[in-house]
């Protein structure tokens, strides 16, 4: 007996063969992203295409300038609402953004309750707040790192900011050169005494910026914003010695010109620290490049100038002013001991001892004669000679040519540390990156730093062994993090009140879902040419206290859909034509079985 099954497929259920499946959208959000970075534009569009695959629709993606982003986020005017609302109401839903960090991790005001502006996430977590307060008042390195790990764990769990990636950068260095630490060089705290060349005793460092400023008081070794001072920070890190510097093992602060330092906390009572002092013993072997010993009066005089607006100090109004109320904060105890009295608690106190030092006996008479404006004169002018750059670093200034944008350093014969054999370092400005690269290939220069912003694809390293042998590509974390910032007041992905479950946990599940839908590896490989690291939390590698034990949220659309369903949504995945035919065949088979069973009865 021949049995024919006729199956009718409803047009509403039918799929075109080969068409991409579209999952039913449970809700829709708007994306907001800056249009200032081509790579970020690309991954924002890629993630926009990913979200519908996990049941999250995108009804609008506004890629725009900062002037339009600020009023919707950190500069929201608080007129119609006393919080930042959704995009549809004038705020934002999610925001693609990057953040630069210093090496000494300081998240103050970014995720803690009560800060409006930088905490445009509107994230509130009392446990985080308590941990942060403890972190900001703990100066023991091991205890401080542990608290940093705990802060990262909370952010990893709550996801007010969904980490996409950590940016990396690289130096191009002649293969004869060794001893560079590109991360420390990037923040201008490298140990130039470790730089070496197997080809001789000279090194030529190529930089793209012009000379701009001249003395220690216009130069901050870290956290500088003005790219025009970039050139000057390069030679300054070799010339200006400081009491403390970062070590080469874990980047923590260690004594340099100081022999040691002791932190003395002052308490409100037996539990709460009010402020602190730092007592510094100077290394008796430390000398300036003119042979004078480094004395406590030199330390105080240097910091007096760093704290003075009259000295045109670039550090004035920055970190020092925050922790030192006046020049009375620096007290000479004896010729080898100086005390720093902070007016507040700081969890990285030794970073305050990292500013450049000068010899009072050579600088003070010049300022007395010519006034503070002499500090704006270039080295080797008629009024200053080399006195303003007399310091206690491993090198000293040999020549300074503004016309040629070139600075030459030579060994400081009074440096009490050990150097690796370089006699001279030349810093020269070559703005054109192709010209600089050709000079590197011709071994006329030895180092091109990260400021040239080379793309890895710009030189055929992988397929040209001779070219690869001429220089090294040294990668390092650039302390930059790219993320998706979540509006934690959004009623679905922020508070969860409009999810089917209606809880904050359901909103967290949706943020997890979004995180699992980000193909971080593909973004790094396809958009950044392999230069970057998958993001985990907002704190990037290179920061003191970075927790390397946390793993990125894996790219897994099935898991992402599962988290969307945990929030109470039922994800309907439409069948393909093949699926429907298989179901039809199964129904036919069931019909046949039923018919035969009836006949046998």
Residue with tokens 């259920």: 13
Euclidean distance between CA atoms 496 and 490, whole angstroms: 8
Which helix (H) or strand (E) segment is 126 a member of?
helix 126-136
Which helix (H) or strand (E) segment is 399 a member of?
strand 395-401
Q: Which residue has the higher pLDDT, 233 or 48?
A: 48
The pLDDT-based confidence of 384 (bands split at 50, 70, 90) is: confident
Tokens of 73: 């986020």
The pLDDT-based confidence of 267 (bands split at 50, 70, 90) is: confident
Q: Closest Cα partner for 339 from 351, 350, 330?
A: 330
DSSP string, 323-382: H--SGGGEEEEETTEEEEE-SS--SSGGGGG-S----HHHHHHHHHHH-GGGGGSPTT-T
Of 280-284, 372-376, 522-526, give the lowest mean pLDDT range.
372-376
Per-residue confidence (pLDDT) for residue 578, from 0 to 100: 52
- pTM, 2 dp: 0.87
Euclidean distance between CA atoms 513 and 562, whole angstroms: 8
Euclidean distance between CA atoms 38 and 197, whole angstroms: 38
Per-residue confidence (pLDDT) for residue 317, from 0 to 100: 53
Question: Per residue in 7-25, pLDDT tens?
Answer: 333 333 334 333 345 788 9
The pLDDT of residue 526 is above 90: yes
Per-residue confidence (pLDDT) for residue 3, from 0 to 100: 41
- What are the backbone dihedrals phi and psi of residue 585, each rounded to the nearest 5 degrees, phi first? -65, -40
Euclidean distance between CA atoms 160 and 254, whole angstroms: 35
Per-residue confidence (pLDDT) for residue 534, from 0 to 100: 98
Q: How many alpha carbons lie under 13 Å from residue 561 in its C-beta half-sphere?
A: 15
The pLDDT-based confidence of 271 (bands split at 50, 70, 90) is: confident
Question: Per residue in 37-82, pLDDT tens?
Answer: 999 999 999 999 999 999 999 999 999 999 999 999 999 998 889 9
The pLDDT of residue 396 is above 60: yes
Which helix (H) or strand (E) segment is 565 a member of?
helix 557-566
Question: Per residue in 338-375, pLDDT tens?
Answer: 999 999 999 999 999 999 999 999 999 999 999 988 88
Query: Based on the number of CB atoms within 10 Å of its own CB, is 295 exposed (0-12), middle (13-18) or buried (19 or more)?
Result: buried
**Residue 287 DSSP code:** B
The pLDDT of residue 279 is above 50: yes
User: CATH homologous superfamily for 177-445?
Assistant: Periplasmic binding protein-like II (3.40.190.10)
Tell me how far the alpha carbon of residue 516 is from its chain's centroid: 23
Answer for the pair 49, 42: CB distance below 8 angstroms, yes or no: no
Per-residue confidence (pLDDT) for residue 20, from 0 to 100: 47
The pLDDT of residue 187 is above 60: yes
Euclidean distance between CA atoms 546 and 568, whole angstroms: 35
Q: Closest Cα partner for 92 from 113, 109, 76?
A: 76
CATH of domain 27-167+477-566: 3.10.105
The pLDDT of residue 237 is above 60: yes
- What are the backbone dihedrals phi and psi of residue 449, each rounded to the nearest 5 degrees, phi first? -90, -175
Three-class secondary structure of residue 110 per DSSP: coil
133 Cβ partners below 8 Å, 6+ apart?
none
- What are the backbone dihedrals phi and psi of residue 489, each rounded to the nearest 5 degrees, phi first? -95, 0
Q: How many alpha carbons lie under 13 Å from residue 303 in its C-beta half-sphere?
A: 27
Tell me how far the alpha carbon of residue 95 is from its chain's centroid: 18
120 Cβ partners below 8 Å, 6+ apart?
73, 74, 76, 84, 95, 485, 487
CA 514 to each of CA 87, 210, 468, 511: distance values in angstroms, whole numbers, following the listed order: 18, 44, 40, 5
Beta strands 424-429 and 94-100 are unpaired
Domain boundaries along the sequence of the chain: 27-167+477-566, 177-445
How many helical (H) and strand (E) elements, i.e. helices and strands, does the chain have?
A: 15, 19
């Amino acid at each position: 007996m021949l049995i024919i099954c006729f199956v009718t497929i409803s047009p509403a259920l039918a799929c075109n063969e080969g068409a991409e499946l579209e999952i039913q959208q449970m809700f829709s959000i708007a994306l907001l992203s800056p249009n200032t970075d081509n790579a970020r534009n690309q991954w924002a569009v890629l993630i926009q295409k990913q979200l519908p695959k996990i049941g999250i629709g995108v009804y609008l993606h506004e890629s725009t300038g900062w002037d339009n982003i600020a009023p919707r986020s950190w500069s929201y005017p608080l007129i119609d609402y006393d919080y930042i609302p959704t995009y549809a109401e004038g705020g934002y839903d999610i925001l693609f953004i990057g953040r630069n960090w210093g090496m000494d991790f300081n998240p103050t005001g970014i995720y803690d309750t009560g800060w409006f502006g930088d905490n445009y996430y509107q994230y509130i977590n009392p446990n985080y707040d308590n941990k942060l307060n403890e972190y900001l008042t703990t100066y023991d390195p091991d205890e401080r790192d542990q608290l940093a790990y705990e802060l990262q764990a909370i952010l990893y769990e709550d996801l007010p900011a969904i980490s996409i990636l950590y940016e990396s950068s690289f130096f191009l260095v002649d293969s004869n050169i060794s001893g560079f630490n590109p991360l420390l060089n990037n923040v201008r705290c490298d140990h130039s005494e470790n730089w070496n060349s197997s080809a001789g005793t000279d090194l030529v460092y190529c930089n793209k910026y012009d000379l701009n400023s001249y003395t220690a008081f216009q130069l901050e070794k870290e956290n500088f914003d003005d790219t025009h001072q970039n050139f000057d920070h390069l030679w300054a890190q070799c010339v200006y010695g400081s009491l403390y510097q970062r070590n080469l093992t874990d980047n923590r602060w260690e004594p340099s010109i100081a022999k040691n330092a002791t932190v003395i906390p002052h308490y409100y009572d037996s539990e709460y620290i009010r402020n602190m002092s730092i007592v510094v013993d100077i290394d008796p072997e430390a000398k300036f490049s003119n042979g004078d010993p480094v004395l406590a009066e030199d330390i105080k005089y240097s910091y007096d100038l760093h704290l003075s607006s009259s000295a045109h100090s670039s550090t004035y109004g920055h970190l020092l002013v925050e922790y030192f109320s006046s020049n009375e904060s620096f007290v000479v105890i004896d010729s080898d001991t100086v005390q720093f009295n902070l007016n507040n608690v700081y969890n990285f106190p030794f970073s305050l001892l990292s500013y450049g030092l000068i010899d009072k006996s050579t600088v003070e008479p010049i300022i007395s004669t010519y006034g503070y404006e002499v500090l704006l004169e270039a080295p080797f002018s008629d009024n200053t000679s080399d006195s303003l750059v007399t310091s206690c670093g491993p090198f000293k200034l040999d020549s300074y040519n503004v016309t040629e944008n070139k600075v030459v350093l030579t060994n400081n014969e009074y440096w009490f540390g050990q150097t690796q054999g370089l006699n001279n370092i030349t810093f020269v400005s070559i703005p054109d990156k192709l010209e600089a690269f050709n000079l590197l290939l011709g071994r006329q220069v030895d180092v091109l730093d990260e400021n040239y912003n080379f793309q890895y694809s710009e030189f055929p390293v992988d397929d040209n062994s001779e070219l690869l042998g001429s220089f090294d590509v040294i990668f390092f974390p650039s302390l930059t993090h790219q993320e998706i910032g979540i509006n934690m007041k959004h009623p679905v992905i922020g508070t969860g009140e409009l999810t089917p479950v209606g809880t904050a946990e359901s909103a967290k599940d949706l943020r997890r879902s979004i995180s699992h839908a980000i193909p971080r590896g593909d973004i790094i490989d396809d958009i950044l040419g392999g230069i970057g690291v998958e993001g985990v939390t907002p704190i990037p590698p290179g920061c003191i206290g970075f927790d390397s034990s946390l793993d990125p949220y894996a790219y897994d659309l099935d898991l992402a859909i599962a988290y969307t369903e945990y929030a109470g949504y039922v994800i309907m995945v439409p069948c393909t034509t093949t699926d429907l035919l298989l179901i039809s065949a199964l129904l036919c088979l069931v019909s046949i079985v039923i018919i035969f069973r009836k006949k046998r009865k």
